[in-house]
């Protein structure tokens, strides 16, 4: 089994109102960031998945999204899978 670093980005579907995104956009403009538009607020979920290969890690993660991580009626989930890099401890 290999370990895979997975990033799931969940955001409201484009046709769904995003009041948090609207609030952030207005606040940014009030702070002088006039070139900002289309702000969408979502969530990022990082996890490690044990799987034989990248395709299996993606499939498992897609199943997690369907069951818990995202509401497919109102949210989109974007999945990024990378091989886990071994972390060496420094003594």
In degrees and rounded to multiples of 5, residue 73 shows phi and psi of -75, -35
Fold of domain 2-83:
Mth169; Chain: A , (3.30.1280)
pLDDT digits (tens, 9 = 90+) for 33-68: 999 999 999 999 999 999 999 999 999 999 999 999
pTM > 0.95: yes or no: no
Q: In what order do the strands lie in the sheet with 43-51?
A: 43-51, 2-12, 75-83
DSSP 46-74: EEEEEESSHHHHHHHHHHHIIIII--TTT
């Amino acid at each position: 089994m290999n370990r895979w670093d997975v990033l799931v980005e969940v955001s409201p579907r484009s046709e769904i109102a995003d009041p948090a995104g609207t609030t952030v956009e207005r606040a940014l403009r009030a702070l002088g960031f006039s070139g900002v538009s289309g702000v969408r607020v979502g969530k990022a979920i990082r996890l490690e998945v044990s799987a034989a290969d990248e395709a299996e890690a993606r499939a498992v993660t897609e199943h997690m999204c369907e069951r818990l991580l995202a509401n497919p009626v109102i949210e989109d989930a974007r999945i990024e899978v990378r091989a886990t890099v071994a972390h060496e401890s420094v003594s």
